[in-house]
Amino acid sequence: HGAAELDDIGTEAVSRRTPAPAWLPTAKGEEGDFCLRSSDCAAGLCCARHFWSKICKPVLREGQVCTRHRRKGTHGLEIFQRCQCAEGLACRLQREHGPADTSRLHTCQRH
């Protein structure tokens, strides 16, 4: 009687799948979810710094302000990182029409 019960318990434990650790995300992160890398985020999102952690943020669309880095490695210095421009767009200096073309603002623009 006692041995049969132990056998059932042992078989049941082996047949069940081992659950994933609680810290391991089971689905892709949505906007605002914590992440370690962009592959942790759902489509259309990237993993970017927000204060001292990283969260999933939307990839930039046409006309949105973007950050153009002059030197490699300066992206890590930002406290509020932006995602890169969506596919088919490039981060370029915004062209102001008129004599006061002094804007240093970069936006996502078609190639």
C-alpha span between 98 and 5 (Å, rounded): 85
Taking the whole predicted model, whether its pTM rises above 0.75 is answered as: no
Encode pLDDT of 12-37 as tens digits.
Answer: 444 455 555 565 556 899 999 999 99
pLDDT band at 1, cuts 50/70/90?
low
pLDDT above 90 (res 101) = no
Residue 96 lies in a domain: yes
Q: How many Å apart are CA 33 and CA 57, to the nearest integer?
A: 9
37 belongs to a structural domain: yes
Average pLDDT of the segment spanning 68-79: 67
- In which domain, by residue range, is 96 found? 33-70+81-110
- Per the structure, the count of domains in the chain is 1
Mean pLDDT of 98-107: 71
Q: Is 86 exposed, middle or buried (0-12, 13-18, 19+ CB in 10 A)?
A: middle
pLDDT band at 5 (very low <50, low <70, confident <90, very high): very low
| pLDDT over threshold 70, residue 78 | yes
Determine, yes or no, domain membership for 47: yes
**CATH for 43:** 2.10.80.10
* Whether the predicted pLDDT of 90 surpasses 50: yes
What pLDDT score was predicted for residue 43?
A: 96
